[in-house]
Structure 1
Amino acid sequence: MNNWSEYVGYLASVFIVVSFLLKDIRTIRTINLLGCICFVIYGFYYGVLWPIIIPNGILALIQIYNIVKKN
């Protein structure tokens, strides 16, 4: 691993996998949101990877909407 963006990509993967292990929906959405944000950062800094940035950006907005809506 030569640069920090690779670590961000691995961290994003960990967040996504961990979100599938949880039971509380708010916690699931929060952890998944962190993973989506990390993937967007990874996508921009690893070479502007639109197939990673676009879906994770949309998913992040959906997670934010659902977290806010539930309050």
Structure 2
Amino acid sequence: MDIEWLEWLGYLASLIVLISLLMSSIKKLRWINMIGSSLFSLYGFLIGALPVGIMNLGIVFINIYYLVKLSRDHTQEG
């Protein structure tokens, strides 16, 4: 596999996670962080770094959990 392409995938994932932390809205933070963590998870699995892949996959599921919770809380208010 092309090493340069993989490096850029890692940089892109890092940048997206960094951008997510700039969000003032928790919902936007969770969505953007989920995208970055998904890419980081893919990156980790592709380079054979299982701890990186598994941990970021866990973060993806945590973001999904809280996004569903936010969505349910929002529908109960209305």
Query: Aligned with 1:70: secondary structure?
Result: helix
Q: Which structure has the highest helix share of the two?
A: 2
Question: 1:39 maps to which residue?
Answer: 40
Aligned length: 70
Higher-RCO chain (CA-CA 8 Å, sequence separation at least 6): 1
Cα offset, 1:3, TM superposition: 3.2
Does residue 50 in structure 1 map to residue 50 in structure 2? yes
Query: Aligned with 2:24: secondary structure?
Result: coil
* Runs of 5+ unmatched residues, structure 1: none
AA aligned opposite 2:52: I
Range that drifts further, 21-30 or 48-57:
48-57
Cα offset, 1:54, TM superposition: 1.5
How high is the TM-score relative to the length of structure 2?
Answer: 0.81
Question: 1:59 maps to which residue?
Answer: 59
Mapped to 2, the partners of 1:66 and 1:29 lie a distance apart of 8
Identity %: 37
Query: Aligned with 1:29: secondary structure?
Result: helix
What do the CA deviations read for 1:27-65 (whole angstroms, capped 9, x no partner)? 00011101110011101112x201201111111100011
AA aligned opposite 1:57: L
